[in-house]
Amino acid sequence: MDSERPYGRGAKGQAPDVSGLCGQCGDGKAAIDPNGNVSPCVISAEWMSVGNVRTAGLADILGGPLMTDARLRIRHAARGGKKCDPDKCDPGCEPNDSCKPGYPGTECPPRN
């Protein structure tokens, strides 16, 4: 069971805040809306665009500074400096899941 996140009706009139995301947004995935806007995840699609595939290549967007900054902000806010906060990531999170085996840029074995 997941907690109610502060987006859509759950926002109760508040502005979107990255701290409600699970902390894994943008890690090997992204969302593209019908207008071509790219965001780290579908939950942040309406308020956290990192580029548009109609004006830039997807690889450039995903590897670009806006996506990098968004991923860092999300990770920092959602985890509060901890490796992982299971309540925010449940059910797909263990205390050490910030290190994904084989994911590029991690030190977890097995390496790709």
Would you kindly state where each structural domain of the chain is located, as residue ranges? 8-99
Whether 88 has a pLDDT exceeding 50, the answer reads no
Identify whether the C-beta of residue 35 lies closer than 8 Å to the C-beta of residue 20: no
Tell whether the model's pLDDT for residue 85 goes beyond 60: no
Strands (E) across the chain are located at 31-32, 37-39, 51-52
Question: Can you tell me the distance from the alpha carbon of 82 to that of 33, in angstroms, rounded to the nearest whole number?
Answer: 31
What are the tokens at 64? 């670009």
DSSP three-state, residue 61: helix
Going by pLDDT thresholds of 50, 70 and 90, the confidence category of residue 49 is very high
Mean of per-residue pLDDT scores for the chain: 72
Record the pTM. Answer: 0.63
For the ranges 11-20, 52-61, 95-104, the lowest mean pLDDT is seen at 95-104
In whole angstroms, how far apart are CA 77 and each of 28, 37, 48, 54? 19, 23, 14, 30
